[in-house]
Amino acid sequence: MMRVAQISRPKGPFEIVERKVPEPVAGTVRIRVQACGICHSDSLTKEGAFPGLQYPRVPGHEVAGVIDAVAPGVAGWQPGQRVGVGWNGGFCGYCDPCRRGEFFACVRGQITGITYDGGYGEYLIAPASAVARMPADLPPADAAPLMCAGLTTFNALRNSGARPGDVVAVLGLGGLGHLGVQYAAKMGFHTVGIARGRDKEPIARKLGASVYIDSQTQDPAAELLKLGGAKVILATATSGEAMSAVQGGVAVNGTLLIVGAAESMQVSPLALLTGCRSVKGWYSGTSIDSQDTLAFSVRTGVRSMNETYPLERVSEAYERMMSGRARFRVVLTIG
Ligand SMILES: [Zn+2]
Ligand SMILES: [Zn+2]
């Protein structure tokens, strides 16, 4: 038997229940979970905001653990391997987007903790295509938040078109932003942190920002233009207003790269066309991107700052994440 924290109806409470340990079906592996991050997107499962979601459902897409069983016919994975699973819960490999190499856009794509049970429990079954190798010297609670928050910022930045030495600004200094600043600095960008309030300056600098802009007392667009404009602004905040306020700081041929799920924002077409500027979104990534994220993080010392809770205290841990006061990610430790 195993324990999992499930949600059995939209807006329902977490219920710790015992279930039979599931057997891996064709194409999947079973993972013994050691840690699972609590991401804001888990509220889609908790609150019933994802269309067609079937209950009961176990949330969690920042999974770190060990493969414990492998279905017959699955190649490349063995029991005992340390692995992680992120938001991308696997892809088919044969639909048109997959055949074009756009695995993230798979039309049969699954989402961990949404289309199947995720990591808030002792075991989960995941498609082999969703699994990333976890480096030997990375503790599970360190790896877990890198599987979504880390992956999202790392993969967006490495695909942003910015080159070492370019000005790269990170808007927001929360769960995503505190990782984005570290990755930007380690990738060799001239890293600028933008957040609300002078009190965030010391932590931004400690994480690697060489310039800090307080958006409450300074005009972030004007400050970025003093540096020649930002080749990339990685927008991790969830405020459309904050995104609109920085767009004037994007350099010629630069990009406002959005990973924060704001509902809407204002864009100036004139600013875009006069400077060949772009506004672009970035999907987090697939399992090989997660694997690269973990490996890069181990080599360069990038880590999420976490508050950890045991699985039994999942309700408290979730509320802490939703409060926005956690510094900076919340992680469940399991087993
Ligand atoms: Zn997430
Ligand atoms: Zn596909």
pLDDT, one tens digit per residue, over 210-219 is 999 999 999 9
**For the CA atoms of 10, 143, 127, 29, what is the dihedral angle to 10 degrees?**
-110
Per-residue pLDDT tens digits of the chain, which is 335 residues long:
999 999 999 999 999 999 999 999 999 999 999 999 999 999 999 999 999 999 999 999 999 999 999 999 999 999 999 999 999 999 999 999 999 999 999 999 999 999 999 999 999 999 999 999 999 999 999 999 999 999 999 999 999 999 999 999 999 999 999 999 999 999 999 999 999 999 999 999 999 999 999 999 999 999 999 999 999 999 999 899 999 999 999 999 999 999 998 889 999 999 999 999 999 999 999 999 999 999 999 999 999 999 999 999 999 999 999 999 999 999 999 98
For residue 286, give every residue at least 6 positions away whose Cβ sits within 8 Å of its Cβ, in sequence order, or none: 88, 91, 103, 104, 129
Q: Decide: 58 and 118 in contact? Cβ < 8 Å.
A: yes
Burial class (CB in 10 A: 0-12, 13-18, 19+), 210: middle
Give distance in angstroms: CA of 92 to centre of ligand 2. Answer: 4
Check residue 27 and report its DSSP letter: T
Going from the Cα of 185 to the center of ligand 1, the distance in angstroms, rounded, reads 22
Distance 129 CA to ligand 2 centre (A): 11
d(CA 42, CA 192): 29
Distance from Cα 285 to the centre of ligand 2, integer Å? 14
Residue 190: partners with Cβ closer than 8 Å, 6 or more residues away: 165, 166, 167, 168, 210, 211, 227
- Which ligand sits closest to the CA of 119? 1
Assigned token pair, 200: 């965030």
Positions of E strands within 259-314: 278-281, 306-310
Q: What's this model's pTM, rounded to 2 decimal places?
A: 0.97
- What are the Cα distances from residue 6, in Å, to 86, 116, 118, 148, 289? 18, 12, 9, 20, 28
Distance, CA of 274 to CA of 253 (rounded, Å): 10
Q: How far apart are alpha carbons 300 and 295 in whole angstroms?
A: 9
Q: Which residues surround ligand 2, an ion (CB under 5 A)?
A: 91-92, 95, 98, 106
- Say how many Å lie between the CA of residue 91 and the centre of ligand 2: 5
pLDDT tens-place string over residues 110-161? 999 999 999 999 999 999 999 999 999 999 999 999 999 999 999 999 999 9
User: Is 38 within 8 Å of 318 (Cβ atoms)?
Assistant: yes
Q: Closest Cα partner for 133 from 146, 152, 149?
A: 146
- Cα 38–Cα 119–Cα 234 angle in degrees, nearest 5: 40
| 295 CA from centroid of ligand 2 (Å) | 26
